[in-house]
Amino acid sequence: MSETPYAVEMKDIVIRFPGVLANDHVNLTLKQGEIHALLGENGAGKSTLMNALAGLYKPASGIMRVFGETVNFNSPKDAIARGIGMVHQHFMLVPTQTVTENILLGLNEPRFFMKLAEYDQKILALQDQFGLRVDPTAKVWQLSVGEQQRVEILKTLYRGAQILIMDEPTAVLAPQEIDELMKTMRSMVDQGKSIIFISHKLHEVTAVADRVTVLRKGKVTAEGHSMEGLTKRDLARLMVGRGVIFAVEKKPQEPGDVVLSVKDVEAENDKGVPALRKLSLEVRAGEILGIAAIAGNGQSELAEVVTGLRPCTGSVKINGKEVANKPPIVAIKQGMAHVPEDRTGVGSAPNMTITENTIMKCYRENPIGNGWSINFTNARQRARTLKEKYDILAPSVRTMARKLSGGNLQKVILAREISAQPQLMVAVQPTRGLDVGAIESIQTLLLEQREAGTAVLLISEEMEELLALSDRIAVISDGRIMGIVDADKADINEIGLMMTGTAVPAKSMEAAG
């Protein structure tokens, strides 16, 4: 009896873009019924390689086989027909359509008449099966980033894919949900499905993967290596070519005066549904208050209320000055800095240069601004200084922001915000989708702000990050604060329960807002 063929074989794959060799003779094999981790820094070529397997890119050379048969995909439809489904890091969704419509898009059924209510129920049943909650009738534009990622996972599962490419699927899940997803992935491979799992969370890779392939700058540094005996440090060194500090050092310090005061705030989300309910909290100078919540529970709306991007009732004060329902410039003048969740759509102007992006908060002032004109000589010199200080990897300060990797774009945003010497920083998902080297840099910058006396409101769905950086953690569920815990004494299971709406009598708990 012949040996069972690999689910996927990719041999000597070469993919080029203008001026860039994205994949340089890359090999990858996926066995039937295994979870194969694909690791690498941002820009290492992971997504490019998987986009070729998903039918989005055509390799310049190389061979791809699926279940032993050589394939040559012309479109994602060809890949889907071969049982390959990809959960993309950057969502492939139509904003104006509902969740159900997005999941059905491109399928042969239904063809002429669509009984949406019937399919809504099928989607709900699928959600129950995999523990991925999202309103099937909601329009995609109304959903949080986390909810949109769940739609992508549901879309792939609905198609019954035999080979699943999962690009950062756990980035927006609570600890318990991550555990459930891991169990689901194991259950799927036990039934013969095969999974390629792209993740920057090395502890997840060591916990769930059978084998690993590592890319660095488009080349393979480890090919199909068994996970047995591999540690997080081993994986990090293969990814970035050097040792990585996993536990950033947070020095003990006493917080100062209250910088941000939020009292009895209520706000609605984009669907007109209450997102914040009588929420109150304070952040002091020199402390990081972390916000722990499952995506879609009001944390994004909280950031928008504080930064002047969403109307509310109640009080929001920065250094004693009311900023609620006022233009963002009012909060900025009170020393507010903002690192938004959407770094391309909100945090930067993709079609502008690094120079133009770094002067967005200071173009009105000398020596950059002078009446109606901008001194671009001074602006470029300032950008070059920031580029060097924050280790922004780009050919020059004239490089367009859209050409930067996620980590380098995030450094541009942080350079702009930190150089304004803020008294309050609102940082939303600051390390989402970044590799271990970039995460280390961003987290170090946030702790430096804390040491400089800045009050930091940190909204993150990375539990390890919240525990490592925060002084206190406020847990939000359904727009309400379930409790505030001391990060040094926090119990991750109790936090997880509170994130899902269960009240927990924790010893380190403060009175809920």
Q: Which residue has the higher pLDDT, 60 or 506?
A: 60
State residue 500's pLDDT score.
79
pLDDT for residue 15 is more than 60: yes
Segment 361-418, tens digit of pLDDT: 888 888 888 878 889 999 999 999 999 988 888 888 999 998 887 778 888 998 999 9
Q: Which residue has the higher pLDDT, 268 or 202?
A: 268
- Token pair for residue 55? 């039918």
| Angle, CA of 195, 464 and 203, to the nearest 5° | 35
Q: Please report the beta strands in 293-400, taking only residues with DSSP state E, as ranges in sequence order.
A: 313-318, 321-322, 336-339, 369-370, 373-374
What average pLDDT does the segment 312-340 reach? Answer: 95
186: phi then psi, degrees, rounded to nearest 5: -65, -40
| Nearest Cα to Cα of residue 74 among 89, 59, 87, 62 | 59
Could you please report the per-residue DSSP string of 390-423?
TT--SS-TTSBGGGS-HHHHHHHHHHHHHTT--S
pLDDT for residue 211 is more than 50: yes
Do residues 355 and 380 touch, judged by C-beta distance below 8 A? yes
- Token pair for residue 209? 């993967």
Provide the whole-model pTM: 0.66
Write out the residue limits of the CATH 3.40.50.300 domain(s) in the chain: 8-240, 245-335+422-513
State residue 367's pLDDT score.
87
Do residues 80 and 163 touch, judged by C-beta distance below 8 A? no
State residue 177's pLDDT score.
65
Do residues 211 and 235 touch, judged by C-beta distance below 8 A? no
Do residues 297 and 478 touch, judged by C-beta distance below 8 A? yes
Do residues 62 and 14 touch, judged by C-beta distance below 8 A? yes
pLDDT for residue 182 is more than 50: yes
State residue 113's pLDDT score.
63
pLDDT for residue 474 is more than 80: yes
Reported confidence tier of residue 68, pLDDT bands at 50, 70, 90: very high
User: What is the C-alpha to C-alpha distance for residues 55 and 86, in angstroms, rounded to an integer?
Assistant: 10
Please report where in the chains the tokens 């739609």 appear, as a residue: 151
Neighbours of 3 (CB within 10 A): 6
CATH homologous superfamily for the domain 245-335+422-513: P-loop containing nucleotide triphosphate hydrolases (3.40.50.300)
pLDDT for residue 81 is more than 60: yes
What average pLDDT does the segment 436-452 reach? Answer: 87
30-to-33, 54, 79, 193, 480 alpha-carbon distances in Å: 9, 14, 15, 11, 44
Reported confidence tier of residue 508, pLDDT bands at 50, 70, 90: very low
What average pLDDT does the segment 219-224 reach? Answer: 89
CATH architecture of residue range(s) 8-240? 3-Layer(aba) Sandwich (3.40)
User: What is the C-alpha to C-alpha distance for residues 156 and 181, in angstroms, rounded to an integer?
Assistant: 14
Segment 261-298, tens digit of pLDDT: 999 999 999 889 999 999 999 999 999 999 999 878 99
State residue 1's pLDDT score.
34
State residue 513's pLDDT score.
42
Reported confidence tier of residue 351, pLDDT bands at 50, 70, 90: very high
Reported confidence tier of residue 165, pLDDT bands at 50, 70, 90: very high
Do residues 335 and 424 touch, judged by C-beta distance below 8 A? yes
Q: What average pLDDT does the chain have?
A: 87
pLDDT for residue 314 is more than 60: yes
Reported confidence tier of residue 511, pLDDT bands at 50, 70, 90: very low
The percentage of residues in the chain with a pLDDT greater than 70, rounded to a whole number, is 92
State residue 344's pLDDT score.
83
Please report where in the chains the tokens 């949406």 appear, as a residue: 116
195: phi then psi, degrees, rounded to nearest 5: -130, 130
pLDDT for residue 88 is more than 80: no
User: What is the C-alpha to C-alpha distance for residues 245 and 34, in angstroms, rounded to an integer?
Assistant: 30
